Structure 1
Amino acid sequence: METVILAVVIALVAIAALSGLVVSSRRKKQLPPSPTPPSAEREVTAPPPEPHVGDEAELGRDEPRRTIEEVDLPEAPAATLEPVEAEELERIEQELAAAPEIEVPAPTAGRLVRLRSRLSRSQTSLGQGLLSLLSREHLDEETWEEIEDTLLTADVGVAPTQELVERLRTRVKVLGTRTPAELRALLREELLALIGTDEDRTLHTESPEDTPAVLMVVGVNGTGKTTTTGKLARVLVADGRSVVLGAADTFRAAAADQLQTWGERVGARTVRGPEAGDPASVAYDAVKEGIAEGADVVLIDTAGRLHTKTGLMDELGKVKRVVEKHGPVDEVLLVLDATTGQNGLVQARVFAEVVDITGIVLTKLDGTAKGGIVVAVQRELGVPVKLVGLGEGPDDLAPFEPEAFVDALIGD
């Protein structure tokens, strides 16, 4: 019996041992788990919570809603410029800030009428003085001598004065009784005849050839020649002309800078050369540039020549000859200071011998009582006064109109 029990126990033990071997062999055949990185072994993370579904789901919370005005939109990133682009933009801004504003000159039509009050000194001494003398009840020889002195003092000139006095004597004798209105009309008529109303006083700014009109400005230093050239550029621009300036006054310091400043104010380009360079070369280049740009007018400012220096006067003739290689010179304008009176006529004679003067510009006419210089200089040169300067303002250069001038002299 004991033997049977022992056998049963041994059988059970054997069966258990076999079962363990089978289980262990099955476990060895399973794939090993993927290796865990060392860092992950140190981190202990909780498994993600399972979502609640059905009755276990939480109810949504009511949060306050914002209007569209309350929502802050994200700001756009600031645009950045490359260093080169930034420097170029800064340079352009500096050039625009430095560039002078282009001015629009006042119209030239009727400009002398608007400036007639500037002739008050000539009006007092010449116009009103003559009217006062002619209004005397008895015009004896002494009175006629006073009339003659008045005309000579106003720089009318000897020959024109004698002619005017003779005509006035004859007409006053025929007229008989003289009212103030009749005397004013008589004097106006005679002064107009003396100055001349049939002269061509227009500036020739249209070339007969397919090239710009060329205007040369000449004169002695101190007459305001370069300033007059700048003002003349404004006159031409005001009349609808495109202008190129030639700074051929290379001997006077800052003359080219002065002319360029005048040109920039009205959008006219200035052609200039080296200081103390050849004036003829600058004038030639200015006309060449004017042709290339299709400008209407090339305006050349020449050096102020002292009429006693023959070499410089000859050089002025050279400038004109060099410019004429491009085409004819349409105007040669002589600038004279009206305050110099008869002394200016000496200068005028010398200039007329070197270049063919076509017109006269009388400056500073507002600062003198010698308005009669208009008559004297026209008689001396045989060319008309085309422009008069009546102040220091940029638009105080006016086309000369005989009627407006005489009316300003004798008053209303």
Structure 2
Amino acid sequence: MEFFSKLKNGLNKTRNSFTEKIERLIIGYANINESCLDELEEILISADVGVSTTMKLMDDVRLGIRQKEINSPQDLQPFLIKKISQILESGEDHITIAPSGPTVFLVIGVNGVGKTTTIGKLAKYYRANGKSVLLAAADTFRAAAIDQLQIWGKRAAVDVIAHEEGSDPAAVVFDAVKAAIARNTDILLIDTAGRLHTKSNLMDELNKIYRVIKREIPAAPHETLLVLDATTGQNAIHQAELFTKAAPISGVVLTKLDGTAKGGVVIGIKAQLSMPVKLIGVGEGEDDLQPFIAKDFAAALFDM
């Protein structure tokens, strides 16, 4: 219940922008007409559900009207809740844990999305659940990134494998994987540079890291998590499309959901990319990174 409460509070801005607008729309129209449907379409797009997902939902609404599932504006909200919940609940969103040996998380994304903070929060979460954890500072392009990860390492009481600024990220990863195997570590969390997806050399570096991990642990990385900032809306979806070209992404971590009215981007990611949303950040606190549970997200979004 505490997690759900945080989720509900974290989605306040999105709910005010999205659900409450739909409720006002329902009150404002006695009958469903084209003006009503145009306004509904605008509400979905403004919540960053995405144009293609919005068009699909509007097609569903029009079909629902023809098939008499929707007979009045009051029928719109339960119909949308059903359709959006179906989108959110499609696919598997659970975190993969290796049956034996280290579980390797490769964490990627552009600068400023909350990548290193996400790793720190994951380290604390797994430590609190009795797992041994090791961090790898493979973002060697910025000294501040190494320092930041070491601060999180101290907070979570876990070791950090790090080299000097400017060193080869793949070499850091090699040492970290070897250390994780030797120490029989449960969880290895690898930080990477905030790669600009327009820089092909940085994407090549990511591919190199991926190959180094696979050579030492063939089933790894068990999770390649792309961290996206929910406040960037459709740009987050664009980033996801580009990063899939560099590494097989297993899921998305969506941060800063509490800071945006555009939480509909979760629906867009699921519908447009068919990509699992594994974790969501709904606050600044160390315990505010939560597993994504589709039915809870839908309930919090629609204040159910």
1:378 is displaced (CA, Å) by 2.6
Q: Residues of 2 paired with 1:337 and 1:271: CA distance?
A: 26
Residue matched to 2:230: 338
Q: Is the 8 A contact 1:113 1:404 kept in 2?
A: no
Give percent identity, aligned residues only. 45
Q: Is the 8 A contact 1:164 1:194 kept in 2?
A: no
Matches within 5 A, 1:41-80: none
Q: Is the 8 A contact 1:112 1:398 kept in 2?
A: no
The residue type paired with residue 188 of structure 2 is V
Q: Residues of 2 paired with 1:112 and 1:254: CA distance?
A: 34
Tell me if 1:376 matches 2:268. Answer: yes
Unaligned runs of 5+ in 1: 1-108
Residue matched to 1:138: 31
Residue matched to 2:214: 324
Q: Is the 8 A contact 2:162 2:172 kept in 1?
A: yes
SS state of the match for residue 115, structure 1?
A: helix
Q: Residues of 2 paired with 1:268 and 1:203: CA distance?
A: 21
State TM-score, norm by structure 1. Answer: 0.69
Distance 1:310 1:380, change over 3 A: farther
Tell me if 1:386 matches 2:272. Answer: no
Aligned length: 300
The residue type paired with residue 288 of structure 1 is K
Distance 1:230 1:176, change over 3 A: closer
The residue type paired with residue 188 of structure 1 is I
Tell me if 1:242 matches 2:136. Answer: no
Residue matched to 2:58: 165
Deviates more, 1:338-347 or 1:120-129: 338-347
Unaligned runs of 5+ in 2: none
Deviations 1:65-112 (A, max 9, x none): xxxxxxxxxxxxxxxxxxxxxxxxxxxxxxxxxxxxxxxxxxxx8624
SS state of the match for residue 244, structure 2?
A: helix
Q: Residues of 2 paired with 1:176 and 1:113: CA distance?
A: 31
Q: Is the 8 A contact 1:213 1:330 kept in 2?
A: yes
Distance 1:347 1:183, change over 3 A: closer
SS state of the match for residue 370, structure 1?
A: coil
Distance 1:171 1:132, change over 3 A: farther
Residue matched to 1:38: none
Deviations 1:206-235 (A, max 9, x none): x24x42011100000111111111112223
Q: Residues of 2 paired with 1:112 and 1:285: CA distance?
A: 39
1:176 is displaced (CA, Å) by 5.8
The residue type paired with residue 130 of structure 1 is I
Q: Is the 8 A contact 2:52 2:272 kept in 1?
A: no
Distance 1:112 1:220, change over 3 A: farther
Matches within 5 A, 1:338-377: 338-377=230-269
Matches within 5 A, 1:217-256: 217-256=107-146
Residue matched to 1:276: 166
Deviates more, 1:126-135 or 1:214-223: 126-135
Distance 1:377 1:221, change over 3 A: same
Deviations 1:16-61 (A, max 9, x none): xxxxxxxxxxxxxxxxxxxxxxxxxxxxxxxxxxxxxxxxxxxxxx
Q: Residues of 1 paired with 2:4 and 2:158: CA distance?
A: 24
State TM-score, norm by structure 2. Answer: 0.92
Tell me if 1:151 matches 2:41. Answer: no
Q: Is the 8 A contact 1:112 1:401 kept in 2?
A: no
